[in-house]
């Protein structure tokens, strides 16, 4: 959530940033927020002045009563009663204005970093790196949705029977490959200095609000109305919320956590090859890395996180590219996002497998996540996260890019994790 002080002191910068994210009605909404803040401060001043006057009159009333001036005391009591009604009325209006101000603030997206390219669609994203040659497949190569049937490793029909479309069942070598990738990614994160946690996969409303999924993505999350709990779309949500309402000692920064969870998303997409097979699911597995850092360190840390994710793709032998997302293609909460995509040889296109983002103070302001700077003043921290990695499209690319006449050859780094070297 953007800070009111930033909107007030850097209005032109805010409007330029919202324009880069193609946020509609920005000027009117920012003006309305500043008006609400002015009214809030006015009401607070009136409330405090009336309260202070009432307290002073109470002191004077006591003196008048002691001196026997009952008439003077009664006059002041009448004034005190008026002031009490004023403070009550102003307090009630202040509560309403603060609620309206909060509701207006949470609708504004984060501001993009200065390096974010202008643009509206994925076609406007900037390619900042590309690694590895694209494999040449043998004749009659198959896309992964045919390979999984050929080797009987993932069953969408069984998943549809049990739950519905977008919930696959992994079987035999498919299930073992899933487990192998999860363990490989977690081990690599631990070796890189991340502390492993296993968080809940259901979160409360405060957690969804804290990281910005609510209210922005309310309809895209699975919701249990009876207990008002949400199935997580990513481990970012529970892991970052571990530190909600905390003041972190500087000696513990940066915080580096990693965790595996299943992830759940209602928006599985439409028909077509872009969402076929493993390309987009309602439930999938992912290892997430999360860092919490002082502001001056956060962009160097983002580059470090990106390098870690690239190292995973290199060890898996997958050709990939790195994109810096344009303003119109970024998430609601992000200040700067790198997308990492792997090349799917059988489909002949790039598949997104990771996003690494710096949210600057946007989430921390919602979370009240702070550190104590020099001089004892608390300041907001920066939060960052990245997929390291999401499994479905990694599996799709591994199957397609490594298919041979006698089976699917897995990268050497997975052999000990899987207990086999090829599928089939």
Instruction: Look at the block and give the residue holding tokens 């202008």.
Output: 118
Residue 368, classified by CB atoms within 10 Å of its CB into exposed (0-12), middle (13-18) or buried (19+), is middle
Q: What is the pLDDT of residue 73?
A: 81
372 is in an annotated binding site: no
Q: What is the pLDDT of residue 272?
A: 53
234 is in an annotated binding site: yes
Nearest to 232 by CA among 180, 305, 179, 285: 285
288 is in an annotated binding site: yes
Both tokens assigned to 246: 């905390």
**Alpha-carbon span 33 to 413, nearest angstrom:** 53
266 is in an annotated binding site: yes
Q: What is the pLDDT of residue 76?
A: 86
Model pTM above 0.85 = yes
Edge to edge, what strands does the sheet with 247-248 contain? 247-248, 370-372, 378-380
DSSP H or E run through 162 = helix 156-162
Could you say which residues of the chain have pLDDT below 50? 270-271
Report all structural domains of the chain as residue ranges with CATH numbers, in order of start. 4-105 (1.10.287), 122-423 (3.30.930.10)
306 is in an annotated binding site: no
40 is in an annotated binding site: no
190 is in an annotated binding site: no
Nearest to 142 by CA among 391, 421, 424: 424
157 is in an annotated binding site: no
39 is in an annotated binding site: no
267 is in an annotated binding site: yes
Q: What is the pLDDT of residue 132?
A: 97
* Residues 37-53: b if buried by 16+ CB within 10 A, e if exposed: bebbeebeebbeebbee
Q: What angle do CA 274, 110, 306 make, to 5 degrees?
A: 60
Establish whether the linkage from the previous residue to 37 is cis, with ω within 30° of 0.
no
Q: How far apart are the first and last CA of the chain?
A: 50
Question: What residues contact residue 296 under an 8 Å CB cut-off, 6+ apart?
Answer: none
Both tokens assigned to 274: 């872009």
Q: What is the pLDDT of residue 269?
A: 52
Q: What is the pLDDT of residue 273?
A: 56
Question: What residues contact residue 289 under an 8 Å CB cut-off, 6+ apart?
Answer: 189, 194, 256, 257, 258, 305, 308, 385, 386, 388
Q: What is the pLDDT of residue 81?
A: 87
């Amino acid at each position: 959530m953007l800070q009111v002080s930033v909107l007030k002191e850097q209005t032109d910068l805010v409007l330029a940033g919202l324009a880069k994210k193609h946020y509609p009605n920005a000027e009117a909404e920012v003006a309305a927020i500043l008006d609400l803040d002015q009214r809030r401060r006015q009401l607070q001043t009136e409330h405090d002045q009336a309260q202070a006057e009432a307290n002073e009159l109470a002191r004077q009333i006591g003196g008048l009563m002691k001196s026997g001036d009952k008439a003077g005391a009664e006059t002041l009591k009448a004034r005190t009663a008026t002031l009490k009604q004023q403070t009550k009325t102003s307090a009630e209006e202040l509560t309403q204005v603060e609620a309206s101000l909060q509701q207006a603030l949470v609708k504004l997206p984060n501001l993009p970093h200065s390096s974010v390219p202008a643009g509206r669609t994925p076609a406007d994203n900037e390619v900042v790196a590309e690694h590895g040659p694209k494999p040449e497949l043998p004749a009659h190569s198959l896309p992964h949705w045919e390979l999984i049937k050929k080797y009987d490793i993932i069953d969408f029909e069984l998943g549809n029977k049990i739950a519905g479309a977008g919930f696959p069942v992994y079987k035999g070598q498919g299930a073992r490959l899933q487990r192998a990738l999860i363990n490989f990614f977690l081990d690599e994160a631990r070796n890189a200095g991340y502390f492993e946690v296993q968080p809940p996969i259901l979160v409360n409303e405060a957690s969804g609000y804290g990281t910005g999924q609510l209210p922005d993505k309310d309809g895209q999350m699975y919701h249990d109305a009876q207990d008002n709990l949400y199935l997580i779309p990513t481990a970012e949500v529970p892991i970052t919320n571990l530190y909600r309402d905390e003041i972190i000692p500087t000696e513990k920064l940066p915080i580096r956590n990693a965790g595996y969870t299943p992830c759940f998303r209602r928006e599985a997409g439409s028909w077509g090859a872009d969402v076929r097979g493993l390309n987009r699911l309602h439930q999938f597995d992912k290892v997430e890395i999360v860092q919490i850092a002082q502001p001056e360190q956060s962009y160097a840390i983002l580059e470090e996180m990106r390098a870690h994710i690239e190292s995973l793709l290199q060890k898996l032998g997958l050709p990939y590219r790195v994109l810096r997302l344009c303003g119109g293609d970024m998430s609601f909460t992000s200040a700067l996002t790198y997308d990492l995509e792997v090349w799917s040889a059988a489909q002949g296109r790039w598949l997104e497998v990771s996003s690494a983002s710096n949210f600057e103070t946007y989430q921390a302001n919602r979370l009240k996540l702070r550190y104590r700077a020099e001089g004892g003043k608390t300041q907001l921290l920066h939060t960052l996260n990245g997929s390291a990695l999401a499994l479905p499209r990694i599996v799709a690319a591994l199957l397609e890019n490594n298919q041979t006449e006698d089976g699917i050859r897995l990268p050497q780094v997975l052999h000990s994790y899987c207990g086999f070297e090829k599928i089939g």
